[in-house]
């Protein structure tokens, strides 16, 4: 838009980190709504645009100025491939189709990992294929989660990387991975951008996880005569008792007939993991998705709320030490704090629709949070 005064009565133009031009201004009354003339210009705008107020009187235009950096697609593809292999192996263990090598101590663990690599490289990967009923739904949840972030970031013309998947050999992890993440390499302009990008991932992943969990419960079974309690998943012959969120408890009892403890099918366990990961990400701490969402909703008040949330996790750690680990990890990720870093324009509140999205994330956290994830 070469002549801002044609449409704007006042505006501010700035370049962010040398890679993004932002034009933020108040429209002339005749162009609010927008006018047909402005609508035509927006259709031709080579970047992103969005309304900064509910009255549609303030408009933000964003355009990239730097040459897009080449992505390392080979690296992303290699990580995804390794994650598929490791998650298939984890699924094969859950399906009782394969047993991973076991080692004691550091040297034994390293040897077990090397045995797994050799096993896969010499054709043993075929024995891992029965793990698809766990691997496919779990990786689908993770992929949709990250694509939610990616699409939302691109919607605001942010410089964002494709997903990085994090494979872990099944000798070290019962699910074969540590999830995935994307990198946003340009500054986030306002709280609307932050909230929308932060919320898109967990909300998209939640929908897929809900379908996976429902379908997985249909093939799960009750143990006749067993007392009602946490769901059970068998890992390498060892039964693991899983804690329940409000949602998993309600859905399990609605779908699985009868009474007694429930042995989860591989797909149901994938759904349980997907819900658990969603709750982890929605905690209002540092650079987690929940930290993004809460800063979008509450601005700098997120710092105080995050501190209280961290104290709650530390208290829950007495019953589930995983929360001590998660609290410490988020503290490190946040650069030594649980408060979220600011955006370029923190004083601007989000729109009504954005607040509804943020409240939806809070509701999802309430439904999916598991106070004691592993009951025994």
- What are the tens digits of pLDDT across the range 304-313? 999 999 999 9
For the chain, the structural domain boundaries read: 4-64, 71-186
Phi, psi dihedrals of residue 186, rounded to the nearest 5°? -130, 155
Confidence of residue 226 (pLDDT cuts 50, 70, 90): low
CB-based contacts of 184: which residues, under 8 Å, 6+ apart? 153, 158, 159, 160, 161, 197
- Give pLDDT, residue 69: 82
The helix, strand and coil proportions of the chain, stated in percent and rounded to the nearest 5, come to 55, 15, 30
What is the rounded distance in angstroms from the CA atom of residue 305 to the CA atom of residue 365?
15
pLDDT beyond 60 at 1: no
Q: What is the pLDDT of residues 263-297, one digit of tens each?
A: 999 999 999 999 999 999 999 999 999 999 999 99
Q: How many CB atoms lie within 10 A of CB 65?
A: 12
Confidence of residue 223 (pLDDT cuts 50, 70, 90): confident
Q: Mean pLDDT, the chain, as a whole number?
A: 93
State whether residue 338 is helix, strand or coil.
Answer: coil
pLDDT beyond 80 at 102: yes
pLDDT beyond 90 at 244: yes
Q: What is the pLDDT of residues 37-54, one digit of tens each?
A: 999 999 999 999 999 999
- Give pLDDT, residue 250: 96
State whether residue 334 is helix, strand or coil.
Answer: coil
Confidence of residue 70 (pLDDT cuts 50, 70, 90): confident
pLDDT beyond 70 at 181: yes
- Give pLDDT, residue 228: 64
pLDDT beyond 70 at 227: no
From 310, 308, 289, 312, select the one nearest 358 (Cα to Cα).
289
């Amino acid at each position: 838009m070469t002549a801002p005064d044609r449409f704007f009565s006042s505006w501010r133009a700035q370049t962010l980190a040398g890679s993004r031009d932002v034009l933020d201004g108040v429209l002339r009354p005749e162009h609010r709504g927008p006018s047909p003339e402005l609508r035509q210009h927006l259709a031709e705008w080579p970047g992103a645009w969005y309304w900064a107020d509910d009255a549609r009187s303030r408009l933000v235009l964003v355009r990239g100025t730097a040459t897009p950096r080449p992505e390392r697609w080979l690296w992303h593809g290699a990580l995804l491939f390794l994650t598929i292999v490791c998650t298939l192996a984890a699924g094969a263990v859950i399906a009782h189709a394969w047993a991973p090598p076991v080692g004691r101590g550091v040297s034994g663990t390293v040897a077990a990992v090397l045995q797994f690599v050799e096993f896969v490289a010499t054709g043993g990967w075929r024995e891992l294929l029965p793990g698809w009923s766990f691997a496919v739904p779990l990786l689908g949840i993770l992929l949709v989660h990250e694509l939610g972030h990616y699409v939302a970031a691109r919607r605001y013309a942010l410089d964002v990387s494709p997903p990085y998947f994090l494979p872990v050999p099944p000798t070290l992890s019962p699910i074969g991975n540590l999830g995935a993440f994307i990198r946003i390499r340009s500054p986030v302009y306002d709280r609307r951008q932050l909230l929308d990008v932060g919320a898109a991932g967990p909300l998209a992943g939640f929908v897929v996880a809900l379908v996976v969990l429902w379908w997985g419960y249909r093939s799960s079974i009750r143990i006749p005569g067993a007392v009602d309690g946490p769901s059970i998943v068998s890992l390498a012959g060892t039964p693991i008792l899983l804690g329940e969120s409000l949602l998993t408890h309600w859905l399990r009892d609605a779908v699985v007939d009868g009474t007694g403890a429930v042995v989860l099918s591989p797909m149901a366990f994938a759904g349980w993991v997907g819900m658990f990961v969603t709750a982890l990400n929605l905690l209002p701490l540092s650079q987690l998705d929940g930290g993004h969402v809460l800063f979008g909703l509450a601005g700098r008040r997120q710092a105080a709320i995050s501190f209280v949330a961290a104290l709650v996790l530390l208290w829950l750690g007495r019953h589930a030490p995983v929360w001590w680990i998660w609290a410490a990890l988020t503290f490190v990720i946040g650069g030594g704090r649980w408060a979220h870093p600011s955006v370029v324009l923190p004083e601007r509140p989000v729109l009504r629709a954005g607040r509804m999205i943020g409240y939806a994330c809070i509701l999802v956290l309430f439904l999916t949070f598991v106070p004691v994830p592993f009951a025994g």
